[in-house]
């Protein structure tokens, strides 16, 4: 997983350096010619700005999380965050900087932050600001793995090659609170079970918020969820967030 992250990090960094940073990169390079790289890091732009610190957040998931679940949780965040707040190019820069910092390449992470003109008031990617004053907040799981992360590689190496994949367990009826974030910025809690379909949850959201079923578009991990999809098919956990785009003017279909 981490080797793949490194490759993704360098690809993102190359793209950002060519298209996102723009004039900021040129300005930083001119600064480095006179004062060197270390002085550029410590320079404060537009108020308080701390250099990126090496410390990463330490956190523990409510349940043991595999590398695949962590990757899915992160992808869901990075795919949906730009649609609700801030600028996409800044989100892309923060994503590349987070991957670089997690790979212990703090120098590259700092260069990405400086090139995108991102201000870190506390020296952490958890909270930052762009040149327009927009605020960006990153959750702990986007910056570091949990303390109770389960290694999938170890489990796969122990399993014999001829072992067939076990069938998924039947849907459970155990209910939990599903967090749904509307495109209006409001968060809603729905009572759901892994056996529920998206159509059933749409009806529940309609009863709570009076949003017509035809005006709801549900997304998870950047993918559109159909009405027949069950929660267990999407691998949604109780602490995940499902995005709902509220479209007051759905497209008209002609039969």
Domains of the chain as residue ranges with CATH: 2-152 (1.20.225.20), 175-246 (3.10.20.90)
For residue 189, pLDDT beyond 60: yes
Task: State residue 118's pLDDT score.
Answer: 94
DSSP bridge pairs for 79: none
**pLDDT, greater one: 181 or 8:** 181
Task: State residue 174's pLDDT score.
Answer: 79
Structure confidence by residue, pLDDT tens digits, 18-75: 544 444 544 444 444 444 433 333 333 445 789 999 888 899 988 888 988 998 889 9
Average pLDDT, the chain: 77
Task: State residue 142's pLDDT score.
Answer: 92
User: 115 and 67 in contact (C-beta within 8 Å)?
Assistant: no
Model's pTM, two decimal places? 0.50
DSSP bridge pairs for 190: 178
Burial of residue 52, with CB atoms counted within 10 A of its CB: 0-12 exposed, 13-18 middle, 19 or more buried: buried
User: 101 and 5 in contact (C-beta within 8 Å)?
Assistant: no
């Amino acid at each position: 997983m981490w080797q793949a992250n490194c490759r993704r990090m360098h690809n993102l960094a190359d793209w950002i350096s060519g298209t996102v940073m723009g004039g900021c990169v040129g300005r930083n390079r001119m600064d480095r010619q006179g004062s060197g790289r270390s002085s550029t890091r410590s320079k404060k732009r537009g108020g308080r700005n701390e250099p990126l610190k090496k410390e990463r957040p330490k956190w523990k998931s409510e349940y043991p999380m595999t590398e695949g679940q962590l990757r899915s949780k992160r992808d869901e965040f990075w795919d949906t965050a730009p649609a609700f707040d801030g600028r996409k190019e800044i989100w892309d820069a923060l994503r590349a900087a987070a991957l670089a910092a997690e790979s212990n390449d703090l120098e590259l992470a700092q260069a990405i932050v400086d090139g995108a003109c991102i201000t870190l008031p506390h020296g952490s990617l958890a909270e930052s600001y762009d040149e327009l004053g927009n605020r960006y907040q990153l959750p702990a799981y986007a910056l570091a793995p949990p303390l109770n992360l389960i290694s999938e590689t170890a489990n796969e190496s122990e399993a014999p090659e001829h072992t067939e994949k076990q069938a998924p367990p039947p849907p459970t009826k155990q209910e939990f609170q599903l967090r749904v974030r509307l495109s209006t910025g409001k968060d809603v809690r729905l009572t759901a079970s892994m056996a529920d379909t998206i159509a059933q949850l749409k009806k529940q959201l309609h009863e709570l918020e009076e949003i017509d079923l035809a005006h709801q578009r549900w997304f998870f991990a950047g993918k559109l969820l159909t009405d027949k999809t069950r929660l267990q098919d999407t691998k949604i956990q109780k602490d995940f967030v499902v995005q709902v785009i509220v479209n007051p003017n759905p497209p008209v279909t002609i039969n």
